[in-house]
Chain A
Amino acid sequence: MKKQSRILLAIASISLILVFFFPIWRIYLDAPQYPEGLGLNIWVNKVTGLNSNDLETINGLNHYIGMEKILPDAIPELSIMPWIIIALIGWGLFASIINKKWAVYVWLCTFIIVGAVGLYDFYQWEYTYGHNLNPDAPIKIPGMSYQPPLIGQKQLLNINALSIPFVGTYVILFSVLISFFVLIKKKTVGKN
């Protein structure tokens, strides 16, 4: 790889640190009773409210429909994900230092697999929360489930849920695109 490519690869790796500073996903919940807004931030290592007490409020509201409480400590992925990100950062830097094409391929493949598995896992959690309802819940509507969308908007009773990738995800995409760019560029250079 050229020096320029190696620097780009290093930047792509290091920029992943930003993932710890920004949520990767955001779910906005819009209800008539909450003009001030309500929502969740999904981070690689935690789930927090959009405003200071939102998580507690959402858990409180969810008990009406029998949804399980969202307890970040009970989600094992949140303790695994940070290590995966750190490993990716490390491998990216390693690839940049050893200057081997295969290392970049491994990095990119791992990256894409992690991303895909992550998304699927997130969907699974949403599915579980939305479908695994307490049969004693005060509000039971036959056939109704409360799975928030992965991306996009969905009306769940009085709540309009809007789910979108947030800054953390864009950082990851940026990283992936750079590594693509590095590989493609190398190929073109190689052909010439």
Chain B
Amino acid sequence: MIKNKIFTLLISGFILGLVFTGCSNQQEAGGTDEAAKRVYVAPGQYDEFYTFMSGGFSGQVTVYGIPSGRLFKIIPVFSQDAETAYGYSEETKAMLNTSYGFIPWGDAHHPELSETDGVHDGKWLFINENNTPRVARIDLTEFETAEILELPNSAGNHGSPFITENNEYVVASTRFSVPIPQKDVPIKSYKENFNGTISFIKVDKTSGEMSIGFQILVPGFNYDLAHAGKGPSHDWAFFTCYNSEQANSLLEINASRNDKDFIAAVNWKLAEKYVSEGKAKKVAANYAHNHMDEKTQTAVSVMNKEVLVLDPKDAPGMIYYIPTPKSPHGVDVDPTGQYIVGGGKLSTVLPVHSFDKMIKAIENKEFDGDVDGIPILKYDAVIAGEVKEPGLGPLHTEFDDKGFAYTTAFISSEIVKWKIGTWEVVDRVQTYYSPGHLNVPGGDTKKPWGKYVISLNKITKDRYLPTGPALCQSAQLFDISGDKMKLLLDFPTIGEPHYAQSIPAEMLMKNSKKIYKLEDNEHPYAAKGVKETKVERKGNEFHVTIGASRSHFTPDNIEGAKVGDKVYFHVTNFEQDWDIPHGFAVMGNRNSELLIMPGQTRTILWEPQKVGVYPFYCTDFCSALHQEMQGYIRVSAQNSNPEIKYTLGE
């Protein structure tokens, strides 16, 4: 019966969607001049906000300007990038190390800016990897990946990396439950053998360095998304979960049977206390912790062997389940920290829970049974209100600075604006098509900056010039400064833009690094000047320590390499001038190029296969004489004994 209802709902949703789509193009035609003015950033002027978007299955993070929608940078995070040599150069390979070895790709989902007192502080950006559970930290002075931490006892790191008000913890919950620890069991033994975990990753206040504080072992549901509390709910973090049916096959039907699934409310302060009291068990594990050493500019990968795991049975009062209708997806906490919105993706209403009521319900033990000893709170005892007609398939909610909330509805393809407290819908606007997350600048913090909402759409279809079957992904910018939301701009994005966060430009641009200081470069193969350039043989390793400046390499004629050698080109960019990177590529190298920022040293490995003389050159147009920036390396026969010679200008 219920199954039928859902089916009808979905079908009608799609039909509605199609109807809306059909008349959409007329709707948005009006007011084009006004919209154009709002998104026009004159040449040489700057955007108001930086927006960090998840690159989705590209594994990277993209940096956009809002309101113009211009792409500034793709930050390589979880995937190799042949353009910048990220994951190819000897210095960066270790960033992609895991307990499974080197992994060239990742699935990036949720960018999350660091916070102080519940407001973005512009220090770091965190982002999760879903497939091989990891969390990365990006340094916002360099806009480069500084650290990647693998998560043990985890599968499908989706509910991550949401952050507490002062970066005390980055949280991470498991979308897939698996046997913990992993073992060879029948898949059908799911209910007995499978569990999820919720990880609390500590963040060092000054360096930002991550370490796993503790993990909580939870029943084998699918933990989907999360948000930490704020203000009164500071000590708590909230995690949605679906598949409370604990299905292990055909989840689209079997995990949609229950009328309500849960939001897990975790008191992390209490968990911290239990951990300090020794209630957590030390469990053997194996997980990689990779960080970019600032001085040597080289990634270091360390395997960690232990993790603290808390069982809720040993930690009473630490975790409660709040019933939430129909496979909730997003869980979002309003700026006051009082209301917790659950996006029941198959629900017809949007439930909003009250933090105060939750605390009272816990005090009064208003429970409705338990799951493995975790008390289930009574829905009516916790609910603050329900938003009626929130659109079909409500997923995610963000907040503005005026007491309104904005919820995406995937199936009806719209953003619905509603008022916190009265729960009434005040406006709705079509999106093209089917939004997942949305982003209001500062919209998940204590102090939203408001002004815009960005819809991050899952379907692109006819919005741009067609490019064959594979289309770009799509974001849309809406003005929310007035009573009615107004569509301002469509702009294409890279990978699936799962989520985005925005921060006022002035908070970051003043800290943005221009160069790396050559004098601070402690790379073991750095050449801090022409005098330190050299070529040396160490067994079958042939190390070329070379300098790049406009417009030559020092040295540029190199002899003495042999077939079968591992030739390492350690290229230091001598420049100390803004925006003068040099590139490096050698003919026939089955490896990437190098792109070296001023003052940096980067190393690429070349294994020459045939004798001959091979040219190398600068790949980044650096100066008027860039085309002259080249050199030759001679490769002699494997059994020969060539003399090492290296020169410049002879």
Contacts and interface: CB of A to CB of B under 8 A. Distances in A.
Interface in A39-75: 53, 56-57, 60-61, 64
B250 interface: no
Given A64-B624, A64-B625, A36 B578 contact: yes
Nearest to B514: A36
Quick one: which of B576, B577, B628 has the most chain A CB within 10 A?
B577
Size bracket of the A interface: under 10
Contacts of B290: none
A7 to B, nearest CB: 46
Question: Do most interface residues of chain B lie in helix, strand or loop, or is the interface mixed?
Answer: loop
Interface residues of B, number: 12
Given A36-B578, A53-B515, A53-B576, A60 B625 contact: no
Given A53-B515, A60-B550, A138 B577 contact: no
A61 B575 CA distance: 11
B577 A57 contact: yes
A84 to B, nearest CB: 33
A187 B627 CA distance: 70
Contacts, number: 20
Contacts of B577: 53, 56-57, 60
Contacts of B551: 138
A138 B575 contact: no
B445 interface: no
Contacts of A56: 576-577
A60 B576 CA distance: 10
Nearest to B576: A53
A36 B575 CA distance: 16
Contacts of A57: 576-577
B548 to A, nearest CB: 12
Contact of A60 (B515, B549, B578, B624): B549
A138 B576 CA distance: 22
A190 B578 CA distance: 62
Nearest to B577: A57
Interface in B508-547: 515
A60 B549 CA distance: 8
B92 to A, nearest CB: 26
A57 B599 CA distance: 13
Contact of B625 (A36, A53, A138): A138
Interface in B611-638: 623-625, 628
A56 to B, nearest CB: 6
Given A53-B515, A57-B576, A60-B577, 12 more contacts: A36-B578, A53-B576, A53-B577, A56-B576, A56-B577, A57-B577, A60-B549, A61-B550, A64-B623, A64-B624, A138-B628, A139-B624
Interface of A: 36, 53, 56-57, 60-61, 64, 138-139
11 contacts: A53-B515, A56-B576, A56-B577, A57-B576, A60-B550, A60-B575, A61-B550, A64-B623, A64-B625, A138-B551, A139-B624
Please give me the 10 A-B residue pairs with the lowest Cβ-Cβ distance, nearest first: A53-B576, A57-B577, A56-B576, A138-B625, A60-B550, A53-B577, A36-B578, A60-B549, A57-B576, A64-B624
